[in-house]
A and B are shown apart, each in its own frame.
Chain A
Amino acid sequence: MKRYRLMAAFAALILVIAACTDAGSDGSTTTAAAGGEGDGGADGATLAAVQDRGSLNCGVNNAVPGFGFVDEDGNFSGFDIDYCRAVATAVLGDPEAVEFVELTAQQRFTALASGEIDVLIRNTTATATRDGSEGATFATTTFYDGQGMMVRTGEFDSIDAMADTTICVLTGTTTELNLATRFADIPYTPLTFEDNEQLQEAFIAGQCDGWTSDKSQLAAIRSAWPDAEGGPEALEILEETFSKEPLGPVTRDGDSQWSQIVDWVVIVTMEAEELGVDSTNVDSFADTEDSAIRRLLGLEITDADGNTAIFDPGLGLEPGWAADVIREVGNYAEIYDRNVGPGSPLGLERLLNALWIDGGLHYPRPYR
C-alpha cells in the first residue's frame, strides 16, 4: 500500500529519533545518511550531502495533475516537479538527478524534519505555525493560490447556500482549518480522507456535496474528471475564494545556505522571464550588453578598468548555474504554461501569478 501508512508515520518518527546516530557514515542515498546532516543543521551540510549523494531527495505530491503527478509508467510531471528539477540542475547540473519521494499531506513535515527529503515542493502553504513550530523555512512563493469549493454542476450557486451539507477535504491540510473558519456559521459535516483518490471515490458516490481544496488543485482534479462521470462539465468551481494560499518550496530550519539556494532557484526563473531569457534563447546572449542578463547567466563582465570577472553572489553554486536551470527547465513562464497554463488541461490564467510588470504578484528580487 503505497499511500496509506500508519507505519510510515512511525518510521518517520523513528527517523527523527535516529537522525543523529551516524553522521556521514556512508553518504549513500539512504535516508538515514541524509538525516546524518541534520546534527544541528550546520550551514552548508545539506548542499554537501546532496552533492555527495549525487541526487536530490525531493518531497512531492503524486496525485495532483499539473502540479505533482505520477503517471502509469512512474514518470513524474508537474509544476512542483519542475521546481525539483530546477533545484537539482542548480546544485548538480542535472535535471534528472532527483529522487522523488511521494508524501501525503500529513507526512510531509515529518519527512522534512527527519532529513528523509532535502526539499519539500508539494503545494505547501506558508503559514506562521509551520514556520515557527514545524521547523520549516519557506522559499519565495511559486504559486499564489486560494481555497475554493467544487460542487456538482447546478447543485449550489454559493457557499452560503451550502447549509447542512457534507464537505470532503484532505486531512492534515490548512484547507481543513479554512473550511471550519468559512463555515463557522453554516452547519456542515467534514469528511476527511488521506488521499485524493479515495476522496474522489466518495465524491463520485455522493457521500459529500462539496469538495474543498486550493482552487488550482480543484481545477486539476476537474480537468481529469473521468468521462464516465460526465467529464469536467459535471463539476463547477464556485467563484468565491476564501483563503490565501501562497505555495512554495520548503526547507528545513537550520541550514540557511541551503534555504537560500532553493529560494534563489525560484527567483532566477522569474528574473529570467522578466529579462526575456528562456530555454530556447538562453545560449544566444553571449554578446549581450545587458549587464543584468550577463550577471544572471554567469557571463564575463568587464568593468570600467577593463578587468573581467564572472558575477558570483556567493550562494555556493557554480557560476552559470542559473543558465543551466533556464536551459534545462525553463523560465517561470515556460514552467507555468507547460504544466498549468491556458494551453494545458488545467487552463489556469496567470492572474496573481503574473509578473509584477504585468500586474501580478511575482516580484523577483534583483540578482546582483
Chain B
Amino acid sequence: MATTSPQAERPPLWRDLRVLKVLAQVVAVGAAAVLVYVVWFNLTNNLAARGLSLGFDFLDEPFGVPVAGSDFSPGSAIWRALIVGLQNTFALVVVGLPLVTVVGVLVGIGRLSTNWLVAKASGFYVEALRNTPPLLVIFFAFNAVILQLPQIAEPIDLFGLVIINNRFIAVASLSNVEGSGVFWAVAAVALFLAVIVWVWRSRRFDRIGSPHHRVVWSLGVLVGIVLAAYLALGGPVEISHPELEGRVLTGGISGLAAYFAMLAALVLYTASHVAEIVRGSILAVPKGQTEAANALALSGFQRLRHVVLPQAMRIAIPPVISQYLNYTKNTSLGIAVGYTEFTLIAFQAIGNGQPAPQLILLVMLGYLAFSLVISALVNMLNRRLQFVTR
C-alpha cells in the first residue's frame, strides 16, 4: 500500500471498520440480488421450456364453478371468484379477532384467579389448545361437532329465530321496507347522542364524583329515540325470519357450517395463545402497582380495571399482533373442510388448469396485504395507548 495517509492512525482499507461495514452491506445486497436473479431466471426458463406463460390474463377467464355460500355465478371471471374468497376470509377475520381478544383476555385473567376451579379450568384450556396443531382443532370442530348437528331434514328451530343444521346456521335479521333510510339515519344520530351522553356522564363523574349511571343514561337515550322513530315511521324495518322449505332457505342471514367450524376452531386455538400473553403481561406489571391500588382500598375489579390491565395491555399488544396475524394466516386451513376462503378458491382455479405460479403469488400477496393492514391498525392503537399513558 503506497498511499498511507499522513495523519495516519488509520488502518489499511481491509482492516478499516468503516470500510468493512459498508463492504459487508454491499456483499449482502449483492448476494440477495444474485439469489433473486437465479430464482427468477430458473422460474422463467423452466416455464418457457414447458411453454407456460407468466402473464395474468387468465384472471379474466370464467371461473367455471359456483362458490358455496355466495351467489357467485360460474360464468364470472376468476378474479371475481378470488374476491369472493377474500370476502370469506375477511368474514372469518373480522368476526374472529374480537372474539379472540375477549376470550383470550378472560382466560388470561382466569388463569391468575384465586378461585381454584377458574384457575385450573383456564390452565387446562390453554395447555390443551396451545399444544395442538390448529389443523387438528379444525378437523375436530368440523367432524366431531359441526357434522354431528342434526341433518337438514330435521333441523333445530329456535322460535323461528335460529335454524341450526349441519349444512348451515341461519339467524333472523332485520330487513328494510319503505322509508327505512330515514329510520337508519335517526338511529345513527341516536347512537352518536348516546356516545356524547356517555362521555358527559363520565366527565361529570370524574369532576364532582357523583354517581354516573352512564349505562342507563346512554341506553335510555339510544332506545328511547330509536323506539320513538320506529313508532313514528310506522314500522320501517321488520324482522326477517329464516325459513326452510325442503332444502331451500329464505330470509334471515346464514353462514355455512364450515364457516362456524373454522371460526370456533381458530378462535379457541388463537385465544389460548393470547391468554398466555395476557397472563404474562399482567405478571409483568410491577407488584408495587397492585400494592398501591390495595392501599387505596380499590376493590379487586377496580384494581384490575383501572390499575393493572391498562398497564398490562401496553405490554401485551405487540405480541398479540403476531397472534392476530397467525389467526389470519391460519384461515387458509379452511381448504381442509371445504370452506370457500381465498386459498381454496385459488387452488380450485389451479386444479382447473390455471397457472400455479401466478395464483400462488397472488395468494401470498393477499395474505401479505391482510397482515400489513392488521398490524398497521393495531400499531396505531398501540401508539395511542403508549402516548396516553406516558
Contact of A130 with B353 at beta-carbon distance under 8 Å, contacts A6-B332, A191-B338, A193-B338 already known: yes
Q: Is the CB of A17 within 8 A of B46?
A: yes
Q: Is the CB of A172 within 8 A of B351?
A: yes
Shortest Cβ distance from A168 into B: residue: B338
Q: For this complex, into which size category does the number of interface residues on chain A fall? A: 35 or more
Additional A-B contacts beyond A106-B348, A198-B336, A205-B151 (9; CB < 8 A) = A4-B135, A105-B351, A106-B350, A109-B356, A176-B65, A184-B74, A205-B166, A206-B166, A207-B167
Shortest Cβ distance from B151 into A: residue: A206
Chain B positions within 8 Å of A191 at CB level? 68, 338
Chain A positions within 8 Å of B337 at CB level? 193, 198
How long is the Cα–Cα vector from A190 to B67 in the complex, in angstroms? 7
Q: Does A357 contact B (CB under 8 A)?
A: no
Chain B positions within 8 Å of A9 at CB level? 347, 350, 356, 360
> Nearest chain A CB to B72's CB is how many angstroms away?
11
Instruction: List CB contacts (< 8 Å) of A23-71 with chain B.
Output: 38-41
Instruction: List CB contacts (< 8 Å) of B332-368 with chain A.
Output: 332-333, 335-338, 340, 343-344, 347-348, 350-353, 355-357, 360
Chain B window 10-50, contacts with chain A (Cβ cutoff 8 Å), 1 for yes, 0 for no: 00000000000000000000000000001100110111011
Contact of A10 with B166 at beta-carbon distance under 8 Å, contacts A17-B46, A207-B147 already known: no
Q: Does A288 contact B (CB under 8 A)?
A: no
Q: Does A273 contact B (CB under 8 A)?
A: no
Q: Does A177 contact B (CB under 8 A)?
A: yes
Residues of chain B touching chain A, judged by Cβ–Cβ distance below 8 Å, are 38-39, 42-43, 45-47, 49-52, 64-69, 74, 133, 135, 143, 147-148, 151-153, 166-167, 246-248, 257, 332-333, 335-338, 340, 343-344, 347-348, 350-353, 355-357, 360
Partner of A133, one of B52, B65, B246, B343: B52
Shortest Cβ distance from A130 into B: residue: B353
Partner of B42, one of A19, A109, A180, A209: A19
Q: Can you pick out 19 interface pairs between chain A and chain B where the beta carbons lie within 8 Å of each other?
A: A9-B347, A12-B356, A13-B357, A16-B43, A17-B39, A20-B46, A38-B46, A38-B49, A110-B356, A129-B353, A164-B247, A165-B247, A166-B167, A171-B348, A173-B351, A176-B351, A191-B68, A192-B338, A192-B340
How long is the Cα–Cα vector from A20 to B333 in the complex, in angstroms? 31
Chain A positions within 8 Å of B135 at CB level? 1, 4
Chain B positions within 8 Å of A193 at CB level? 337-338
Which of A17, A166, A190, A253 has the most CB atoms of chain B within a 10 A radius of its CB? A17
Chain A window 191-204, contacts with chain B (Cβ cutoff 8 Å), 1 for yes, 0 for no: 11110001001100
Q: Is the CB of A207 within 8 A of B166?
A: yes
Chain A positions within 8 Å of B38 at CB level? 21
Shortest Cβ distance from B349 into A: residue: A172
Partner of A40, one of B49, B133, B143: B49
How long is the Cα–Cα vector from A188 to B167 in the complex, in angstroms? 13
> Nearest chain A CB to B12's CB is how many angstroms away?
38
> Nearest chain A CB to B168's CB is how many angstroms away?
9
Shortest Cβ distance from B38 into A: residue: A21
Q: Which 7 A-B pairs have the closest CB atoms?
A: A172-B351, A205-B147, A106-B351, A135-B50, A206-B151, A129-B353, A180-B65
Chain A positions within 8 Å of B151 at CB level? 205-206
Q: Is the CB of B352 within 8 A of A172?
A: yes
Contact of A177 with B65 at beta-carbon distance under 8 Å, contacts A130-B353, A133-B52 already known: yes
Chain B positions within 8 Å of A13 at CB level? 356-357, 360
> Nearest chain B CB to A275's CB is how many angstroms away?
38
Q: Is the CB of A190 within 8 A of B344?
A: no
> Nearest chain A CB to B259's CB is how many angstroms away?
12
How long is the Cα–Cα vector from A39 to B46 in the complex, in angstroms? 7
Q: Is the CB of B49 within 8 A of A171?
A: no
Contact of A192 with B348 at beta-carbon distance under 8 Å, contacts A164-B246, A164-B247 already known: yes
Q: Is the CB of A205 within 8 A of B43?
A: no
Contact of A16 with B46 at beta-carbon distance under 8 Å, contacts A133-B52, A192-B348, A205-B151 already known: yes
Q: Is the CB of B355 within 8 A of A133?
A: yes
Contact of A177 with B352 at beta-carbon distance under 8 Å, contacts A20-B45, A192-B68 already known: yes
Shortest Cβ distance from B343 into A: residue: A6
> Nearest chain B CB to A186's CB is how many angstroms away?
11
How long is the Cα–Cα vector from A17 to B35 in the complex, in angstroms? 12
Chain A window 116-155, contacts with chain B (Cβ cutoff 8 Å), 1 for yes, 0 for no: 0000000000010110011100000000000000000000
Instruction: List CB contacts (< 8 Å) of A156-184 with chain B.
Output: 164-166, 171-174, 176-177, 179-180, 184
Q: Is the CB of A180 within 8 A of B74?
A: yes
Q: Does A113 contact B (CB under 8 A)?
A: yes
> Nearest chain B CB to A225's CB is how many angstroms away?
17
> Nearest chain A CB to B327's CB is how many angstroms away?
16
Chain A positions within 8 Å of B153 at CB level? 206
Shortest Cβ distance from B332 into A: residue: A6
Chain A positions within 8 Å of B350 at CB level? 9, 106, 110, 172
Chain A positions within 8 Å of B247 at CB level? 164-166, 209
Q: Is the CB of A172 within 8 A of B42?
A: no
Chain B positions within 8 Å of A224 at CB level? none
Partner of A252, one of B47, B50, B167: B50
Chain B positions within 8 Å of A165 at CB level? 247
Q: Does A319 contact B (CB under 8 A)?
A: no
Chain A positions within 8 Å of B46 at CB level? 16-17, 19-20, 38
> Nearest chain A CB to B128's CB is how many angstroms away?
19
Chain A positions within 8 Å of B152 at CB level? 206
How long is the Cα–Cα vector from A338 to B177 in the complex, in angstroms? 66
How long is the Cα–Cα vector from A345 to B43 in the complex, in angstroms? 45
Shortest Cβ distance from A253 into B: residue: B50
> Nearest chain B CB to A184's CB is how many angstroms away?
8
Shortest Cβ distance from B58 into A: residue: A133
Which of B68, B69, B344 has the most CB atoms of chain A within a 10 A radius of its CB? B68
Q: Does A254 contact B (CB under 8 A)?
A: yes
Q: Does A189 contact B (CB under 8 A)?
A: yes
Q: Is the CB of A194 within 8 A of B49?
A: no
Q: Is the CB of B43 within 8 A of A17?
A: yes
Chain A positions within 8 Å of B355 at CB level? 133
Partner of B347, one of A40, A106, A189, A209: A106
Q: Does A309 contact B (CB under 8 A)?
A: no
Q: Is the CB of B360 within 8 A of A205?
A: no
Q: Does A18 contact B (CB under 8 A)?
A: yes
Chain B positions within 8 Å of A127 at CB level? 353
Q: Is the CB of B351 within 8 A of A135?
A: no
Q: Is the CB of A190 within 8 A of B147?
A: no
Shortest Cβ distance from A187 into B: residue: B248
Chain B positions within 8 Å of A105 at CB level? 351
